[in-house]
Amino acid sequence: MDLQDQLKNLFPDHEPEDEPDNDKNEPAYWLQDDPIICKYEKRKGKPVTVLEGYNGADSDFKKLTKDLKTLLGVGGSFKNEAIIIQGDYRDKIMDFLKESGFSVKRVGG
């Protein structure tokens, strides 16, 4: 006897509601019309990829930063309205952002 059967025995008059369908087309992040600037810099002799121009909420920034770091398996941070990823991963980051629905502009090199 599973849990559903036990609940039916305890509450015979209860009509189960339909489970809400999660909308699969809903974007995971807030999308904007302006492109995100993806650029390469060297800081203290180390290569970093900097993403600027995203004007979503802080929670969206943090979620996007975490997803990028997880995808690439590298370190990074979110500081001063910019996402900083350790290493030169412009191509992979741009592909991920385009798949997520963002418009991306590559700057430098």
Q: Could you give the C-alpha distances from 59 to 6, 28, 29, 65, in angstroms and in order?
A: 40, 11, 9, 10
Spatial CB neighbours of 90, under 8 Å, sequence gap ≥ 6: 38, 39, 40, 49, 106
| pTM as predicted | 0.70
Structure tokens, 7? 């609940």
Q: Judging by DSSP bridges, how do beta strands 46-52 and 36-43 pair with one another? A: antiparallel
Per-residue pLDDT of the chain (109 residues; tens, 9 = 90+): 788 888 888 888 877 676 655 555 556 777 777 888 999 999 899 999 999 988 888 888 888 889 999 999 999 999 888 999 999 999 999 999 888 888 889 887 6
